[in-house]
C-alpha cells in the first residue's frame, strides 16, 4: 500500500471546479489524505512540490472503463459493435487467464495514472475480477468496479456463459471481499454486461443485490440500434423501459452510452435521476452514433465521461474525450452549444456526481479528499492561452500531466510512477498477448 503523506503543492494555478468556479494562484495543503488549506500556506510538510509551472485541477473521473480489455488494444479495429463483440472481444475475453488479466489491468492503470485519471468506474469480464482489484489496490487509483454478468445462453458464447446462480454468487463474494477497502477507495459495482446477454431473472436479482447492500449498478444501454432491436424483438419493450422494469434506473445506476433513446426513454432517465456515461471516441470508432449530450445536460441528467476500453478507443486519455465531447456536437448545434468549462466539469465534478462521489471528490475544496493532478503550463502546443478551460479542453493532452495524487498519496511525480515498472509492464503485456492469441488458435 502506498504511503499517505502531508503534502504542500506550492504556487500552482488552481482550477478548483468549486461552485463559484474559482481559479487562483496559490498553495494547497494536504493532510491525512484531505485538502485542509487553499491559498497561502505558511505551514511546512514532509513533502513539498513546486507547482509554479503547473495547472492544478481535480483528478479526472472516468465513468466507464474496461481494464480487462487493455491487452486487446489494436486487436479489434474497424468493426461495428456486435461484430466487434462476437468476432473479436468475446473470443479474446474467453481466453484470458489470471496472468493476462493482471497485466491488462496494470497496463490500463498505468496509462490512466499517466494521463490524469484518478477515479474510474470499471467493468470486467466474467472471471478473475479479484486480480483487477489486487492491481487497483496496489496502484492507489480510486475505483468502483465489478465483474460483468452474462447468463443468457442464446447470446453468450459458451466459454463466457454463467448460470444465474453462479453469476450472482461470484458477484456477492467479490463485493463482500472488496467493497469499502482502503477507507472506501475501492468499491463494488454490480455489472450485468447489457440486457442482450442477461436473463430477466439475473437483471432483477442483480438490482436487488445491489440495493440491499448499497452497491452501484452499472451496465451498457442503447449503444447501438442492433442491440435495441434485439431487446424490442425479445420483450416488446424499448431497451430503457426494459431496464427500468428490472430495476436498472435510479440514482444508484450509471448507464454507459445511451445513444439511441426516444423521447419517453429520455424522460424516464430524467425522472429516475439515472446517470449516463458519455464515451465519444468509442461511439465514433464503433460507428454506434453520437449520444444526445446537450439534451441530457439541458435536462440536468448526471453525465460523466469515459474512454471505454483500449479495444474500442484505442486509448484511455480523458483529455481526448473532453476535446471530442466539446467538438462533435458543435456542427449540429452551434459553436457555443457547449463550452470548454462545461466539458471540464463533465470530467471532474459532474463525473463525481454521476458516481455519487461529489461529496468526496471532483473539486479542489477544503475538506474533500485529495485527488489532484498537475498539468504542465508551458507546453508549446498549449501556449499562449486566453482561457484556462479552453487550454485544458482544446490544447492539453494526457502526456502533459506531470503529477497525480489520490487520497493524499503521490501516484506520479514528474511523470514517474515509482511503484510500477513501465518497461516491464509493456514487455509483459506483449508476451501475454502472444500467449493469449496462441490459446485462441488452439481452440
pLDDT tens, position by position, 39-59: 999 988 989 999 999 999 999
Question: What pLDDT digit, counting tens, does each position of 1-40 carry?
Answer: 688 889 999 999 999 999 999 999 999 999 999 999 999 9
- Cα 224–chain centre separation: 20
User: Of 106, 175, 110, 103, nearest to 144 (Cα)?
Assistant: 175
- Is the pLDDT at 110 greater than 90? The verdict is yes
Question: 301 with 376, same domain?
Answer: no
Q: What is the pTM of this model?
A: 0.97
| Residue at 87 is within a domain | yes
pLDDT at 385: 85
| Residue at 74 is within a domain | yes
pLDDT at 157: 93
Q: With cut-offs at 50, 70 and 90, classify the pLDDT of residue 170.
A: very high
What does the pLDDT average to over 168-179? 98
Question: 116 with 255, same domain?
Answer: yes
| Residue at 290 is within a domain | yes
DSSP letter string, 288-305: -----HHHHHHTT--EEE
Question: 27 with 149, same domain?
Answer: no
The CATH number of the domain where 248 resides is what? Answer: 3.20.20.140
Question: 83 with 221, same domain?
Answer: yes
Q: Cell numbers at residue 123, please? A: 467493468
Q: With cut-offs at 50, 70 and 90, classify the pLDDT of residue 121.
A: very high
Question: 219 with 172, same domain?
Answer: yes
Residue 19, CB-side half-sphere exposure with 13 Å CA sphere: 3
Beta bridge partner(s), residue 62: 120, 305
**Phi, psi dihedrals of residue 410, rounded to the nearest 5°:** -80, 105
Residue 184 parent element (H or E)? helix 181-184
Question: What is the rounded average pLDDT for all residues in the chain?
Answer: 97
Virtual torsion, Cα 36, 42, 44, 47, nearest 10 deg: 60
| Residue at 284 is within a domain | yes
Question: 186 with 238, same domain?
Answer: yes
Please state, in angstroms and rounded to a whole number, the distance separating the CA atoms of residues 244 and 235: 13
The CATH number of the domain where 28 resides is what? Answer: 2.30.40.10
Residue 367, CB-side half-sphere exposure with 13 Å CA sphere: 3
User: Quick check: helix, strand or coil at residue 189?
Assistant: strand
Question: What pLDDT digit, counting tens, does each position of 338-373 carry?
Answer: 999 999 999 999 999 999 999 999 999 999 999 999
Question: 49 with 65, same domain?
Answer: no
When divided into structural domains, the chain yields a total of 2
Domain that holds residue 389: 7-58+363-413
Residue that is last in its domain, among 309, 329, 354 = 354
pLDDT at 30: 98
Residue 67 carries which DSSP code? Answer: G
Question: 283 with 271, same domain?
Answer: yes
Beta bridge partner(s), residue 23: 15
Quick one: residue 131, left, alpha or beta (phi over 0 = left, psi -120 to 50 = alpha)? alpha
Question: 251 with 395, same domain?
Answer: no
pLDDT at 305: 98
pLDDT at 378: 83
Question: 90 with 47, same domain?
Answer: no
pLDDT at 384: 87
Quick one: residue 95, left, alpha or beta (phi over 0 = left, psi -120 to 50 = alpha)? alpha
What does the pLDDT average to over 131-155? 97
Question: 348 with 265, same domain?
Answer: yes
What does the pLDDT average to over 185-209? 98
Question: 319 with 336, same domain?
Answer: yes
Amino acid at each position: 500500500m502506498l504511503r499517505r503523506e502531508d503534502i504542500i503543492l506550492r504556487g500552482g494555478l488552481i482550477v478548483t471546479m468549486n461552485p463559484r468556479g474559482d481559479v487562483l494562484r496559490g498553495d494547497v495543503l494536504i493532510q491525512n489524505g484531505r485538502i485542509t488549506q487553499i491559498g497561502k500556506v505558511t505551514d511546512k510538510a514532509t513533502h513539498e512540490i513546486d507547482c509554479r509551472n503547473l495547472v492544478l485541477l481535480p483528478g479526472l473521473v472516468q465513468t466507464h472503463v474496461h481494464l480487462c480489455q487493455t491487452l486487446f488494444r489494436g486487436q479489434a479495429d474497424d468493426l461495428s459493435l456486435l461484430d466487434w463483440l462476437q468476432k473479436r472481444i468475446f473470443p479474446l475475453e474467453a481466453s484470458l487467464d489470471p496472468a493476462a488479466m493482471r497485466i491488462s489491468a496494470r497496463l490500463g492503470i498505468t496509462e490512466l495514472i499517466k494521463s490524469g485519471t484518478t477515479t474510474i468506474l470499471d467493468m470486467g469480464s466474467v472471471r478473475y475480477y479479484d486480480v483487477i482489484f489486487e492491481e487497483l489496490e496496489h496502484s492507489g487509483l480510486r475505483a468502483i468496479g465489478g465483474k460483468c454478468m452474462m447468463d443468457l445462453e442464446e447470446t453468450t458464447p459458451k466459454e463466457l456463459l454463467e448460470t444465474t446462480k453462479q453469476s450472482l454468487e461470484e458477484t456477492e463474494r467479490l463485493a463482500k471481499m472488496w467493497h469499502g477497502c482502503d477507507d472506501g477507495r475501492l468499491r463494488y459495482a454490480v455489472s450485468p454486461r447489457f440486457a442482450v446477454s442477461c436473463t430477466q431473472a439475473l437483471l432483477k436479482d442483480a438490482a436487488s443485490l445491489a440495493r440491499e447492500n448499497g452497491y452501484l449498478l452499472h451496465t451498457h444501454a442503447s449503444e447501438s440500434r442492433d442491440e435495441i432491436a434485439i431487446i424490442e424483438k425479445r420483450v416488446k419493450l424499448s431497451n430503457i423501459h426494459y431496464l427500468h422494469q428490472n430495476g436498472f434506473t435510479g440514482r444508484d445506476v450509471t448507464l454507459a452510452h445511451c445513444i439511441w433513446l426516444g423521447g419517453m426513454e429520455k424522460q424516464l432517465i430524467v425522472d429516475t435521476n439515472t446517470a449516463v456515461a458519455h464515451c465519444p471516441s468509442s461511439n465514433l470508432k464503433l460507428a454506434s452514433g453520437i449520444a444526445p449530450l446537450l439534451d441530457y445536460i439541458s435536462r440536468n441528467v448526471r453525465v460523466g465521461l469515459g474512454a471505454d476500453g483500449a479495444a474500442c478507443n484505442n486509448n484511455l486519455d480523458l483529455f481526448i474525450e473532453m476535446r471530442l465531447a466539446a467538438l462533435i456536437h458543435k456542427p449540429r448545434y452551434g459553436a457555443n452549444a457547449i463550452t470548454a468549462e462545461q466539458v471540464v466539469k463533465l470530467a471532474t465534478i459532474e463525473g463525481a456526481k454521476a458516481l455519487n462521489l461529489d461529496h468526496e471528490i471532483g473539486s479542489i475544496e477544503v475538506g474533500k479528499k485529495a485527488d489532484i493532478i498537475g498539468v504542465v503550463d508551458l507546453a508549446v502546443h498549449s501556449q499562449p492561452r486566453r482561457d484556462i478551460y479552453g487550454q485544458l479542453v482544446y490544447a492539453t493532452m494526457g502526456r502533459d500531466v506531470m503529477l497525480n495524487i489520490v487520497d493524499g498519496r503521490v501516484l506520479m511525480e514528474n511523470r514517474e510512477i515509482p511503484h510500477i515498472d513501465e518497461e516491464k509492464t509493456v514487455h509483459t503485456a506483449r508476451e501475454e498477448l502472444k500467449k493469449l492469441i496462441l490459446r485462441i488458435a488452439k481452440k
